[in-house]
């Protein structure tokens, strides 16, 4: 058995994380939240697979109203993923057990208002409605004020500083019923972020995951690498495996998460783990409700097939399906495909090449990839 970090306990509805409680396995509905029937179907699949917490995104008031209706049809432990409109919390909080916000997203809404006031508002709502919170830092959408403090090649320190600032503020105002995540699509960066944060704040429960891990089996491998090095050191109280999957297969994230945790607890791990820096690296996001065209999932699979010939080249290709993390993650890739409803924005080393239809993009990607290899 793994000796766990002695974190404080955080109750999330019927479950609790931290303080020696079993590591909770989570997933997120990828269907449009306003499509109530589809979201309920996916939620039930996740419940059947044994999800401890299920996250659902709310981007606007229509999503919020749909989530309220979904709540009436399930007893699952629900977490709302607040997007850029943090004020939706007051509508949704009475109907969920957990609120997740991204410090980087707070920057975009009501820019003249200090982020401390926004976080205080969220904490007040959480206390009023008996909710836990997650401070969800993501490498693709870090607060610009934190990014400005460090050189571009250091993407980890801004994430840690952002998490530290928000946790210190929450503690200062007396709200401690929270956990933290620091996700990157690169397993080694993810490992570094979690280990460094846990060293400074070992008492805070952590939600562990590799964001935009991609398609299985590679996405599971990336996640396994990170989990072995993080969970294996006793760090982490709840996890998610973020995979690019069709809606009907989203529950496989739960299966993968439980298998990885079982392997770690029974000692079935690599003795030395390094992600293949000398190989082709495909990043793709886990198809959440922010994806504006489900063709993104099919495109990600086609990119995987079309690029097999380049597997021995150290090139990173990111296929991102939403406007939230898409810009940041594709900027960091050698070739980035940021998918919109009708067009795919292609970037090379962060510079935009152009916008192409879903029928055009693969041929143009081939040209850019061959040019890069040559």
- Each residue's pLDDT tens digit, 111-131: 889 999 999 999 999 999 999
Q: Which of 164-178, 318-332, 357-371 has the lowest mean pLDDT?
A: 318-332
What's the pLDDT at 290?
Answer: 59
Model confidence pLDDT, tens digit, residues 138-154: 998 898 899 999 998 99
pLDDT at residue 325 above 70? no
Q: What integer is the mean pLDDT of 336-345?
A: 87
273 pLDDT band (50/70/90 cuts)? very low
DSSP H stretches of helix in 129-208: 144-147, 156-172, 187-200
Residue 356: both structure tokens together: 């192409």
195 pLDDT band (50/70/90 cuts)? very high
316 pLDDT band (50/70/90 cuts)? confident
Mean pLDDT of the chain: 91
Which residues lie closer than 8 Å to 346 by C-beta, 6 or more apart?
335, 336, 337, 352, 353, 354, 355, 356, 361, 364, 365, 368
Q: Do domains 10-265 and 281-373 have the same CATH topology?
A: no
* Residue recorded with tokens 């293949």: 276
CATH-assigned architecture of domain 10-265: Alpha-Beta Barrel (3.20)
Q: What is the CATH number of domain 281-373?
A: 3.30.413.10
pTM of the model: 0.81
Q: Where are the domains of the chain?
A: 10-265, 281-373
């Amino acid at each position: 058995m793994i000796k766990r970090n002695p974190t404080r306990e955080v109750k999330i509805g019927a479950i609790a994380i931290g303080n020696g409680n079993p590591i909770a396995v989570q997933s997120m509905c990828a269907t449009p939240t306003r499509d109530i029937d589809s979201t309920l179907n996916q939620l039930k699949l996740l419940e059947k697979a044994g999800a401890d917490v299920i996250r659902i995104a709310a981007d606007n008031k229509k999503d919020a109203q749909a989530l309220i209706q979904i709540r009436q049809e399930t007893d699952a432990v629900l977490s709302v993923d607040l997007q850029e409109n943090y004020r939706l919390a007051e509508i949704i909080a009475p109907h969920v057990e957990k609120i997740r916000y991204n410090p980087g997203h707070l920057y975009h809404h009501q820019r003249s208002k200090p982020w401390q006031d926004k976080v205080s508002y969220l904490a007040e709502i959480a206390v009023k409605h008996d909710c836990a919170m997650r401070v969800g830092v993501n490498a693709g959408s870090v607060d610009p004020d934190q990014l400005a403090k460090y050189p571009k090649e250091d993407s980890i320190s801004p994430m840690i500083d952002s998490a530290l600032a928000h946790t210190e503020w929450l503690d200062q105002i007396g709200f401690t019923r929270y956990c933290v995540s620091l996700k990157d699509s690169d397993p080694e960066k993810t490992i570094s972020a979690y280990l460094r944060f846990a060293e400074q704040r070992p008492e805070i429960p952590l939600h562990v995951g590799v964001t935009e891990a991609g398609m299985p089996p590679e996405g599971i491998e990336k996640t396994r690498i990170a989990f072995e090095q993080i969970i294996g050191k006793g760090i982490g109280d709840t996890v998610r495996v973020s995979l690019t999957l069709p809606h009907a297969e989203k529950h496989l994230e739960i299966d993968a998460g439980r298998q990885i945790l079982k392997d770690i607890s029974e000692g079935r791990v690599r003795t030395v783990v390094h992600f293949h820096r000398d190989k082709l690296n495909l990043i793709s996001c886990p198809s959440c409700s922010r994806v504006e065209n489900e063709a993104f999932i099919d495109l990600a699979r086609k990119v995987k097939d079309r690029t097999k010939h380049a597997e021995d080249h150290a090139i990173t290709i990111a296929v991102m399906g939403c406007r939230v993390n898409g810009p940041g993650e594709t900027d960091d890739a050698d070739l980035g495909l940021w998918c919109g409803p009708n067009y795919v924005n292609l970037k090379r080393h962060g510079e935009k090449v152009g916008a192409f239809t879903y029928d055009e993009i693969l041929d143009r990607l081939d040209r850019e990839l061959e040019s890069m290899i040559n």
